[in-house]
Amino acid sequence: METLSVSDLKSGMTLSADLIAPNGRFILPRGACLTPKNIMSLKIWGVSQVFVADSPGPGFEEEGACLKNPEILEKARCSVRELFGGSFPESAGMNEIYRVGVREAARRLAAETDLSSSREAKSFFVPQIFSCTHVGEDEGFALERLVEMEVELVSFPETYFRISEALQSPKSSITHVANLISKDTALSAALLRLANSAMYGVPAKVESIPRAAALIGGNALSILALGVSVAASFGAVPARWVNMQSFWKHSIAVAVLGQVLSVRKTPRAIERIFVGGMLHDIGRLILLRHVPLSMTKVLAAAEAEKAPLVEMERRMLGFDHAELGGRLLEKWGFPRILSDLVRYHHLPEKKEEDSFSLGVLAVADVLAGVLFPGSGGSMYLPELSDALWEMMELSPEALDMVIRQARRQITEIYDLFKGGVDGGTEFSFR
């Protein structure tokens, strides 16, 4: 591996490490072959030194070594196969996800982040839920009633509804939106943290809400504002039976993967996909908060059949967490296109409108379940159709790049929101 200054770079050279700008933005992956255009843009991004080599770099060799170690490889295969209910995946997309899943698991094992600890990080339900015999029968779980109960329980500040109105009004201006958001200092601080993250990769620090609105757009900022407000209301009132850290780790992983997957094809949709990812499984929190006994039975049945939890919810409750979450967001004034992302994240093929964004969320959900810590509750993965996978147009190289980019951003976004109470073990979205 050799370090060269940007002025000494020549096209055709190969990167031996991921290339990151001084502001933390991911630019190119390890193994990329430099073009004259790349070299020009490195100067613009303020990059001064670059690692280059003829070989693909040390990380690749390490990965290769773990995949050649039969013991590590077998353990990795077993742990990933467990997520597929013990069987080998048949569809093209699931097969590809299995491949990268085994590689990531082997990497984690080799780095001595043993899989029992990562399995622990994946546990969503606290163990006591299985012995919650003291919980009386649930009052009833009609979907509408659950939505009403949640609406009665959580109240948002006036600003939230004003932002929601502005988002749905074609007349509202960027200045108006920026003024509304600026009235809430905690919300503004959270949004500025996001605007300064690698998600946007803005070279100069964004220090005010009007500046953030000008850079990413009033609509985009309003969508993020609604998402952060709703996430904050769940962060503050954790469900009793749930590991909230694990829940938010999964939600952030889906949000970031969704944003990285969509930025190439639908850059204007990244905020709504990000917020959709953050909130996609909140229906599970509502179910656990209001009908824990019923959810315990659903969970036990899913475990017994090694079935995705969402399937068992439909079978035993008559609806699933996605429909419940989507209906609640609609009630809270989310634009339909955003609440539908949550509502159909397990049924992307059922909706023609916004089908790419829905597909992205469904793929991001499964990828997050295999590759990253955290859990939305299901021990077993739902199936992805071949049509959905094809729509993503992900070559193995593109998928590897998405994973690497997402890995870095997930850690950053997680750290942005972690902290607050309890020595940093709880999430604080505001």
Q: Write out the residues near Fe ion by the rule CB under 5 A.
A: 281, 365, 376
Are 262 and 356 contacting, i.e. CB atoms less than 8 angstroms apart?
yes
Neighbours of 37 (CB within 10 A): 9
Instruction: Select from 351, 350, 288, 296 the least CA-distant residue to 321.
Output: 288
Q: Which residues contact 354 (CB under 8 A, 6 or more apart)?
A: 269, 337, 340, 341
Minimum CB–partner distance for residue 323 and Fe ion (Å): 10
What SS3 class is residue 256? helix
Minimum distance from CB of 376 to Fe ion (Å)? 3
Of 30 and 345, CB closest to Fe ion = 345
Contacts from 421-430 at CB under 8 Å and sequence distance 24+? 425/245, 426/235, 426/238, 426/244, 426/245, 427/235, 427/244, 427/245, 427/248, 428/232, 428/235, 429/190, 429/228, 429/231, 429/232, 429/235, 430/186, 430/187, 430/189, 430/190, 430/228, 430/229, 430/232
Q: Closest separation between CB of residue 399 and Fe ion, Å?
A: 19
Closest distance to Fe ion from the beta carbon of 255 (Å): 10
The amino acid at 225: A
∠ Cα 89 31 75 (to 5°): 35
CB atoms within 10 A of CB 387: 12
Q: Which is nearer to Fe ion, 311 or 365 (CB)?
A: 365
Smaller CB separation from Fe ion, 248 or 389: 248
Q: How remote is the C-alpha of 7 from its chain's centroid?
A: 37
What tokens does 312 get? 């068992």
Please, what is the minimum distance in Å from the beta carbon of residue 148 to Fe ion?
22
What are the distances in angstroms from CA 229 to CA 37, 111, 112, 183, 324? Answer: 40, 37, 37, 14, 18
Q: Least distance (Å) from Fe ion to the CB of residue 52? A: 39
DSSP state letter for 376: S
Considering the complex, state which of residue 381 and residue 392 has its C-beta at the smaller distance from Fe ion: 381
Q: Which is nearer to Fe ion, 9 or 360 (CB)?
A: 360
φ and ψ of 52, to 5 deg: -130, 155
Radius of gyration, CA atoms only, the chain: 22
Nearer to Fe ion, 119 or 176 (CB): 119
3-state secondary structure of 370: helix
Minimum Å distance from CB 346 to Fe ion? 6
Q: Which is nearer to Fe ion, 68 or 306 (CB)?
A: 306
Minimal distance, residue 12 CB to Fe ion, in Å:
42
Nearer to Fe ion, 163 or 362 (CB): 362
Q: Where do we find the tokens 């962060």?
A: 235
Residue nearest to Fe ion (CB): 376
Distance CA 430, CA 421 (A): 12
Residue 346 vs 407, nearer CB to Fe ion: 346
Could you tell me the smallest distance in angstroms from the CB atom of residue 280 to Fe ion?
Answer: 5
Q: Which is nearer to Fe ion, 176 or 351 (CB)?
A: 351
Minimum gap (Å) between residue 342 Cβ and Fe ion: 9
